[in-house]
Chain A
């Protein structure tokens, strides 16, 4: 089975929220996770990042991007032990950057004139992670009740006009 990037991004965002990430950090994680998986990088790093919530790389890496942008694209990034996911975060900026892994905990990022990598295609081969994220995302859903059903848009009308 294959997934679109957009649906994985939306799912990863909700999963991060379900696991306790603040709203903006969840959005950044969703973008990075979808790009990460589309590039065929290890699903295990996405899973580890989610498991570390409500602390860990999902909270720290968006701030590292803020720092990187303020530094004009040149900085050392603390990967929190997830170098490929950190690389994916950096690549979501869409900036021409050279990224070098100096250790599992650090990336050196510097500006370059080389164009960013082309947009990757669809996502395959991560069924277990999709299932895990679906379960976490479910924590953001409000259980159905008669009251909420009746308050939903479209309730209580005849549709055969």
Chain B
């Protein structure tokens, strides 16, 4: 019978600390990240991946099908590889052709369904899909590394570990579409299924299988077998731009649940009264591994590289604190956390990820609360005086600035007519601000505050006269029930960095090796160091901040 006793915990970190963009832009993957939750499930069920179809020519074009059983259901990845002219290769949403395309299929496709997917998947957004198609994706080769790996295998040798380490993946996904896009199945169709009920589980399963396909493709074209350690270090890249950023604003309950789970996990481990020798050894090993990972993490962007360099140096200080003496003191993890918290967001957030890692028994259950079930709606306010009080408590951070000044409103979020690519404009230099997407929560709440009448008035009467404030009223009412729902920064400020939003969401996916290409998009790596398909049932190390050991 499941133990229903809630573990002791320290106070949660304040929302005013956690929900700042700069902090969110310093997050690292943890064992609560979605791909880790998936890997635990795959391991628990001892999932076996089989490849009933492999119809790929020597040049690497054709299709393949992989199937597995999870939670009592069969799923298949249909992978389609096509020739891509060099000039057409781009990671942007506005691309129209890719090296490979994928569908995660509900069940095992017959020949007719495979033919349908082979015809439609390479067209991506230009095609229509069915309720049997659960996830749609595509990926481009990392040409340099792919060619190096295939060339090495053809020459009868293993790839150069330095090259593998430098890129870390054979292909990069440039979109992973779920929840009904272009006619694929609604998330509601799978939300209750064991193994896929957590957030983005179907998408993570797809990406894990895509990684498997990229390994098979390289081995097929190279005519050789990759060393397992090298193969394990070949994850899947991803290029992520602004399309991902609005999600955190438009799904506030989900954001709250993700953040609350992570913060509760931290509060639980900080309350651990004492450590066992095995836990100390594990922490030490993980801290050493993290140092190795930081050493491997090299990016071209000089500002980000400077952050990494600083973190490397500071991390040595954290690692050196994990001593038998420290661990013998009361609440040793809380001490370690508090020491790291003085070193800035990067150091603190990496420490958070480290502290959770050895304590699965204490925190893994929190992953079950990270989806967005039909929670009761937040309590409504009856009169404007109560609404004002709530607003001034929960949104104090949004008040007191003039949103008409360029520094506080320079940016505007919009969707381009070009393939509906989300973009960020300069209100004072570009047209289109009249079609701005409603991500300006701070400005809208401040406008509501200014519009509230001095006289106590029923909220409904106020909204009857001012329907444009319903958006802000709902955000304020949500704040009491969902304290981590709101990003506490002005997303239209001149100094807003969308890259911070991306890193927050991607860290929840389980991404590492963030490689920002601008303030607007980043490359990352998923499943690097994760178990391969043939070892998912047996390998205990699921690849937190991996280091190549070839």
Contact = CB atoms under 8 A, between A and B. Distances in A.
Contacts of B144: 160-161
Interface stretch (A40-48, A76-84, A96-104, A136-144): A136-144
A119 B190 CA distance: 12
B425 A148 contact: yes
B463 interface: yes
A24 B243 CA distance: 20
Interface in A40-78: 59, 62-63, 66-67, 69-70
Contact of B417 (A3, A94, A142, A155): A142
Given A24-B471, A24-B474, A148-B423, A2 B183 contact: yes
A159 B521 CA distance: 13
B460 A66 contact: yes
Given A66-B460, A69-B377, A157-B517, A141 B415 contact: yes
B521 A153 contact: yes
Interface string A116-160: 000101100000000000000011111111011101111101011
A142 B131 contact: no
Contacts of A3: 183
Nearest to B130: A2
B241 A154 contact: yes
A5 interface: yes
Nearest to A6: B180
Interface size class of A (residues with CB under 8 A): 35 or more
Interface residues of B, number: 66
Contacts of B180: 4-7
Contacts of A138: 417
Nearest to A3: B183
A66 B463 contact: yes
Contact of A161 (B86, B93, B167, B418): B167
B43 interface: no
B479 interface: no
A32 to B, nearest CB: 14
Interface of A: 1-7, 22-25, 59, 62-63, 66-67, 69-70, 93-94, 119, 121-122, 138-145, 147-149, 151-155, 157, 159-161
- Smallest CB-CB A-B distances: 8 pairs: A153-B241, A6-B180, A4-B180, A142-B432, A23-B438, A24-B471, A153-B521, A154-B92
Given A1-B183, A63-B464, A148-B423, 11 more contacts: A4-B184, A5-B188, A6-B186, A23-B438, A59-B467, A70-B460, A138-B417, A141-B416, A143-B417, A148-B430, A152-B416
